[in-house]
Amino acid sequence: MKRILGGAALGFLVFGGGARAEDVSEAQILKALSPPGAPRTRSLSIGAPAPAPAPAFSADDSFVDALRNKPSRSLSVGEREKLGAVAASKPQIDLPMEFDYNSVVLRGPALSNANNLGKALSSEAMRGQTFMIAGHTDAKGTDAANQKLSERRADAVKLFLVQTYRIPASNLITVGYGKSHLKNPTDPAGRENRRVQAVNMLQVKTAGR
């Protein structure tokens, strides 16, 4: 297996004769992103129940709503941090993503995980809801380079979801955190830090909002 070198490249693990460690199934994504108490249904089942109604609109919801259709690079540091704080208590999942060095091209396991994410987000149970797509890198490289790369990769995943699965662009809010939110700060260069995070912001996009 070729090892990809350089700051913030997203790698992957392969266990001999078994499944890749980074594989995340559609069912796992659906389970992780479902609101607490939501019925456990398969995304392809016929007659699946409609998603639960959205909770009352709050100040945090208004903030999230204002970020629709804003490119990740346009978010201020304050907006990024507030978005992260709002998302902290929401249903979420980390998806390992493999990119070549300084690349935003989805391929291999990254493409597989992006496809499973698309299937989950376009399912009846998730349709119309609002999701944050956040890019994260490891601590290699400079702050500025990792920040820009994490934004580009989050935007690349969003573009894929919009073009391939017809998910409305306004339902996907992208943000990059570079190396500022390490999943494993005790190992700043660890693979687990190199990921794309999907968060269900528990909003339903409706006409007139």
How confident is the model over 138-183, as pLDDT tens digits? 888 899 999 998 999 899 999 999 999 999 999 999 999 999 888 8
What is the reported pLDDT for 56? 55
Mean pLDDT estimate for the chain: 79
Helix 77-87 vs helix 59-66: crossing angle, to nearest 10? 130
Residues 6+ apart with CB under 8 A from 47: none
Confidence of residue 10 (pLDDT cuts 50, 70, 90): very low
**Of 153 and 54, which is predicted with more confidence?**
153
What is the reported pLDDT for 44? 44
Rounded Cα distance between 96 and 202, Å, is: 23
